[in-house]
Amino acid sequence: MVEISNKMDYEHQFHRCTIREALDIALDTRKFEIELYWKRANYFVIIIGAIFIGFYTVEGYYHGFLLSLLGYVVSFAWICLNRGSKFWQENWEKNIEYLSDINGTPIFNLVRKGERKPFLFMTSYPYSVSRLNLIVSIAIWISWFLLIALDTYKTWTNEPDTRWYLIIGTKCFVVFIVPVIVHFISKGFMARENCSCQDDKNKIVVNK
């Protein structure tokens, strides 16, 4: 792997005749990533919404028990997906920034300044849409955690017998261990690489 920290080193990775072609590929891939991002978001919103409805409408303790754990795990998976999508979107935006500068069309470096007043709700403001979506997914994940914690407290105080110890143990496993398992299983190749530039988000790594 080769680490790149400036645009001159980045340009050396390409022949001059391939700069425009690489820029077109980066633009198309970024567009594709954004389309997939919203399709995946809609997919998770539908699934989590269906689990929420089932949790509050289904009869029987064990059905609610299983649905709450499923909602918790799916919500955590949604957080991981949002973070992964945000990483690759930012990756292609950084490539486009470098390539457009080299190509003489620095369109991604031109940003309208305008007035930035966050408390005037009828005006525009440069919020990060992907970050807001990530906040929503984290809030839903925390909501499932609180529902599970509240139900566990009721179980512990009302009916403390051997059967409920097993249920509480299952909840603890799903709440604390399953997210760790999901995190390590879902790590992409860049997360598994021992990259020394992980603290500098402006660096680019070239796999060779």
pLDDT per residue rounded down to tens, the chain (208 residues) = 556 666 666 666 666 557 788 888 888 999 999 999 999 999 999 999 999 999 989 877 788 889 999 999 999 999 999 999 999 988 888 888 888 887 777 777 777 776 677 787 778 888 888 899 999 999 999 999 999 998 888 777 776 666 777 888 888 899 999 999 999 998 887 776 655 445 555 565 555 5
Longest dimension (CA), the chain: 74
Of 85, 66, 74, 76, give the one whose Cα is nearest residue 49: 74
List the structure tokens of 101. Answer: 């500068």
Domain ranges across the chain: 2-206
d(CA 43, CA 108): 30
- In sequence order, the β-bridge partners of residue 204 are 4
pLDDT at 12: 65
Alpha helices (H) along 58-124: 61-103
Q: What is the pLDDT of residue 180?
A: 93
pLDDT value of residue 63: 85
pTM of this prediction exceeds 0.85? no
